[in-house]
Amino acid sequence: MAVSQSDALILFGASGDLAHRKIFPALQAMVRRGRLDAPVIGVARTQWSLEQFRARVGESLAKHPGLDVQASTKLSGLLRYVSGGYGETATFERLRKELSGAAHPLYYLAVPPSIFATVLEGLDKTGCARDARVVVEKPFGRDLKSAQALNRTLRASFPEQAIFRIDHYLGKEPVQNLLYFRFANPLFEGVWNARHIERVQITMAERLGVAGRGRFYEEAGAIRDVVQNHMLMVIACLTMMEPAGNDHESVREARASALKTIRPLNPYDVVRGQFRGYRQEQGVAPDSRVETFAALRFYLDGDRWANVPFYVRVGKRLPVTATEVLIEFKRPCCPVLDEYEPPLADYIRFQLSPNVSIALGTNVKLPGEALVGKRTELVAHQGSGDDMDPYERLIGDAMSGDARLFAREDAVEAAWRAVAPILTSATPLYDYEPNTWGPNEADRIIGEGGWHNPQGAI
């Protein structure tokens, strides 16, 4: 059955920070590529005229490095604006008039989750939800219970196939490259299992602190902010089985199945840290117990990944800004080689940011009579080219009804189940100095061999 293209995009929260920083530049890029020619209706409580809204969008685009005058002008012509409270029926009646003949609108809720129910009720009551789709931003709740409640709220107004839960990490080109590398290269997919892989490390490091977002971070912390969603999605991409087909539901089924195998965390498998100076940030409690760093050890159920630890480390005010995945293979056991100097374990290293590269660490023999070698790394760098911004890719996919890069209801709940035990248990919080790799206690999580510290921009 053919999937309809959305013929209008309605942005709730159009006067907010997310729209200004991320969504408006993404819409301009979509126009430039010919992926957007439908009306774009901003909805917000801010009492703006259409011209003031256009000026706000223009201000956003002027600050963005990818300003395209022609695309910006065309986008401005697509804009409409509706002001009013989200709990007022009159707001949605005005929205219906602006929608005019749109048969398949897409609603983007760039508003706090606490407002979702109010907006959804307004759409439902006024008939605006009929034959429509809805995009919701993370966080999808604060824990499993609230995520389940949020999903019930969404499903009361929209069927699951019309709900698009954004995790922009899935829209990143380097994360997509993880899947392509695995399934396009049978040479590696054949050894992608517990028989050959010793352990996996994933590090997401940030040099910046909370950058003025102290109030938000007090509500989230590192585990809720990036582990429960971004990092677990990376684990799912690394471990999922090959999808049964190339349709979006086959991809989502494979990813959700992988998430369901992640064993709920044991508090002993977690070390939390907080950088010195965090409590002086604006909006942060003077006695805050919120973590800005976390080191975690995950295991997956099932034969394929039995007893393979997945080490995850995330943190702010670390020495570099970089995200990297390191797949460490088992050391070879060969008497003819071990007689001299046992070779090191091979590895595959994916740098997801700031550079995009794939590296293969191997052993090669040194010249001479003895069977002695050295470690060599083969690196393939990938230029950024004209990569799509994640928001551009995801909004375009939602408008065309392609859900493969969006989180399904059961996948979201599986991710919350994995971290649930440590959200309710009081684990210690250790201080660490800015510009270090977190508290020394994190070494307990990984043991022999230690953490791999990624490099920043070259």
270-281, pLDDT tens digit by residue?
A: 999 999 999 998
Encoding tokens for residue 242? Answer: 């090959």
Measured CA to CA, the distance from residue 28 to residue 8 in angstroms comes to 15
Tell me which of 91, 120, 137 is where a domain ends. 137
pLDDT of residue 455: 82
- State yes or no: pLDDT of 171 exceeds 50: yes
- Alpha carbon distance 24, 41 (integer Å): 12
Residue range 315-333: average pLDDT?
A: 91
Taking the C-alpha atoms of residue 143 and residue 453, their distance in angstroms, rounded to an integer, is: 30
Does one domain contain both 205 and 130? no
Residue 79: count of CB within 10 angstroms of its CB: 21
DSSP H helices, 384-432, are: 390-400, 409-423
Q: Are strands 357-365 and 373-381 parallel, antiparallel or unpaired?
A: antiparallel
Last residue of a domain, one of 137, 161, 182: 137
Percentage above 70 pLDDT, the chain: 94
Residue 337 has pLDDT above 80, yes or no: no
For residues 80 and 42, is the Cβ–Cβ distance under 8 A?
yes
Q: Could you tell me the strand order of the sheet in which 163-166 lies?
A: 79-83, 40-44, 8-12, 105-109, 133-137, 163-166
**C-beta contacts of 85-93 below 8 A and 24+ residues apart:** 85/45, 86/12, 86/45, 86/111, 86/115, 86/118, 86/119, 86/122, 87/118, 87/122, 88/122, 89/122, 89/125, 89/126, 91/43, 91/122, 92/122, 92/123, 92/125, 92/126, 92/128, 93/126
Q: Is 385 left (phi over 0), alpha (psi -120 to 50) or beta?
A: left
Residues 313 and 197 in one domain: yes
What are the CA-CA distances from residue 62 to residues 67, 183, 391 (Å)? 6, 40, 18
Query: Per the omega criterion (within 30 degrees of 0), is the bond before 354 cis?
Result: yes
363 pairs with which residues across the strands?
A: 375
CA angle (209, 212, 216) in 5-degree steps:
95
**Same domain? 174 vs 131:** no
Whole-structure pTM value: 0.88
Tell me what pLDDT residue 382 has: 67
How many structural domains are present in the chain? 2
d(CA 261, CA 259): 5
- Give the residue numbers spanning the domain of 430: 170-388+408-446
Q: What is the CATH number of the domain that holds 203?
A: 3.30.360.10
Tell me if 125 is assigned to some domain.
yes
- Whether 321 and 181 share a structural domain: yes
Q: How far apart are CA 142 and CA 145, in angstroms?
A: 8
In a domain, 330, yes or no: yes
Q: What is the mean pLDDT of residues 116-130?
A: 91
Supply the pLDDT for residue 437: 96
- The arithmetic mean of pLDDT across residues 286-313, rounded, is 95
Domain co-membership, 194 together with 265: yes
Q: Is the pLDDT of residue 369 over 70?
A: no
Residue 126 has a CB neighbour count (10 Å cut-off) of 17
On whether residue 454 sits in a domain, the answer given is no
Distances (CA, A) of 400 to 2, 77, 132, 218, 370: 10, 22, 12, 36, 61
Domain assignment of residue 146, yes or no: no
Last residue of a domain, one of 94, 122, 137: 137
pLDDT, one tens digit per residue, over 442-454 is 999 998 889 999 9
Residue 142 lies in a domain: no
Structural domain includes residue 242: yes
Q: Are residues 174 and 103 in the same domain?
A: no
Residue 106 reports pLDDT greater than 70: yes
Q: What is the dihedral of CA 452, 456, 457, 458, to 10 degrees?
A: -60
Q: Contact, 11 vs 110, CB < 8 A?
A: yes
> Do 13 and 100 sit in the same domain of this protein?
yes
Least confident of 9-13, 344-348, 411-415: 344-348
3-state DSSP assignment of residue 199: strand
Q: How confident is the model at residue 307 (pLDDT cuts 50, 70, 90)?
A: very high
Collect all residues with Cβ–Cβ distance below 8 Å to 421 and sequence separation of at least 6. 264, 265, 266, 267
Alpha-carbon gap, residue 97 to 94, rounded angstroms: 5
> Do 208 and 65 share a structural domain?
no
Is 230 an active-site residue? yes
Tell me, yes or no, whether 128 and 254 share the same domain. no
456 band by pLDDT with thresholds 50, 70 and 90: low
Residue 242 in this model has a pLDDT that exceeds 80: yes
Decide if 411 contacts 256 (C-beta within 8 A): yes
Q: Would you say residue 105 lies in a domain?
A: yes
What is the spatial distance between Cα 40 and Cα 105, in angstroms, rounded to a whole number? 10
Whether residue 346 is found in the same domain as residue 426: yes
What pLDDT score does 63 carry? 86
User: Which residues sit opposite 376 in a β-bridge?
Assistant: 362
- Each residue's pLDDT tens digit, 252-262: 899 999 999 99
Contact between residue 91 and residue 12 where contact means Cβ atoms under 8 Å apart = no
pLDDT of 231 reads 94
Q: Which of the following is catalytic: 20, 168, 230, 248?
A: 230
Q: Quick one: 123 and 229 in the same domain?
A: no
Burial zone of 292 (CB within 10 Å; 0-12 exposed, 13-18 middle, 19+ buried):
buried
**pLDDT of the residue at 341:** 62
Going by pLDDT thresholds of 50, 70 and 90, the confidence category of residue 340 is low
Is 174 found in the same domain as 132? no
Q: What is the mean pLDDT of residues 225-232?
A: 92
**Could you tell me if residue 383 is inside a domain?**
yes
CATH of the domain at 54: 3.40.50.720
Sheet of 347-353: strands edge to edge?
373-381, 357-365, 347-353, 322-329, 197-206, 310-316, 293-298, 270-275, 429-432
